[in-house]
Amino acid sequence: MVGANTKKKKRVALGLSGGVDSSVAAYLLKEKGYDVTAVYMKCWGDDTKGCGVEEDKMYAVQSAAHLDIKFEQLDFRKEYKEKVIQYFYDEYRAGRTPNPDVMCNKEIKFGLFFDWAVKNNFDYVSTGHYARIRGESLLKGVDASKDQSYFLYLLNRNQLKKILFPIGDLTKKEVRALAKKIGLPTQNRPDSMGICFIGEVNIRKFLEEQISPKKGKVINTIGEVIGEHDGIWYYTIGQRHGFKIKKYTGVPLYVIKKDAEKNELIVGEEKKCYSKEFDVENIHWINKPVAVKKLGVRIRHLGEVYPAGINNNHVMLEKPAFGVAPGQSAVFYLGDEVLGGGIIK
């Protein structure tokens, strides 16, 4: 029978952002013989403005055309605003420091987009993340300066079976070189920075669109009122500037605690910003460790991985970490493997 031995190509839905990483990912998938559909997710802005959104789409369309792959657009603006941006504002308003990229991956890229792909009978979902998957394990990307595994700790093993990260084994330099070699329109586009799908923004101004300034007291570690600030939501643990001090102390002062109910900032010397232990909540395990006494924990993207122990929800570091901020993610590693993570209380 004609074509009886022809193997049907596996279908991949690839999130194409308009950046160099996802466009190189699309090329690599096509080279490996996958049937690739590029999907541009519109999550922010309108048709006339929105932090370079339309420019991103233009590059995504051009890249798909250059690679001769199918192109689709999904409109997630309503859901993105409800699930990611509202969370962002609510967390800051409550005095915490949120991580919108973690929530974006959970709710949008590996939530709505992943579910759409499964419903439409795609075999795999792919993105241009610098991370790797081995079996049912999530690993750091090879390029330590670009590794994005920190943002992906909420994935589960069933999802990992259907996810492909084509550039996880490459460095950024190699990705750029490959983009140039094959003439991708995105080859010289700058790296994306800032908030997922929005880009680089002034956080203070972004917050002020929803949360108005409200004067409050700046207090030192012995309870003296020594200055004022514009609202605790504009500050994070370890921050040195942005508040006004009326009493000279002779040393730089840092935010060491925030009291949301009283709208007060507690400030102190740099050494007060270091913590050796903290609690986490909403812990999610991809692969829960069995009889492992020592893990590594990272408390910010691309931050140092601290040797640590964990007992239930209590984390104990071998050495103090600077600026452990409630609301941020604490992600647990065993070597290169991401075991899981939780939210710092």
* Residue whose C-alpha is closest to residue 330's, from 256, 275, 267: 275
Farthest-apart Cα atoms in the chain, separation: 89
What is the number of residues in the chain?
Answer: 345
Residue 48 has pLDDT above 60, yes or no: no
- Write down the pLDDT at residue 9: 92
> Phi/psi at 121 (nearest 5 deg)?
65, 30
CA distances from 14 to 99, 123, 157, 162, 251 (A): 24, 11, 19, 12, 51
pLDDT band at 1 (very low <50, low <70, confident <90, very high): very low
Residue 220 has pLDDT above 60, yes or no: yes
Residue 333 has pLDDT above 90, yes or no: yes
pLDDT band at 52 (very low <50, low <70, confident <90, very high): low
Active-site hit among 43, 51, 104, 273: 104
* Residue whose C-alpha is closest to residue 279's, from 335, 237, 324, 339: 324
State pTM to two decimals: 0.92
pLDDT band at 53 (very low <50, low <70, confident <90, very high): confident
Helices assigned H by DSSP within 32-106: 53-67, 77-80, 86-93, 100-104
Q: Fill in the DSSP letter of residue 105.
A: I
Residue 285 has pLDDT above 60, yes or no: yes
Which domains are seen in the chain, by residue range?
Answer: 11-203 (3.40.50.620), 213-268 (2.30.30.280), 273-344 (2.40.30.10)
- Write down the pLDDT at residue 23: 97
Mean pLDDT to the nearest integer, 269-298: 92
pLDDT in tens, 167-195: 999 999 999 999 999 999 999 998 877 67
Mean pLDDT to the nearest integer, 217-234: 95
Instruction: Based on the residue annotation, tell me whether 104 is a catalytic residue of this protein.
Output: yes
Residue 6 has pLDDT above 70, yes or no: no
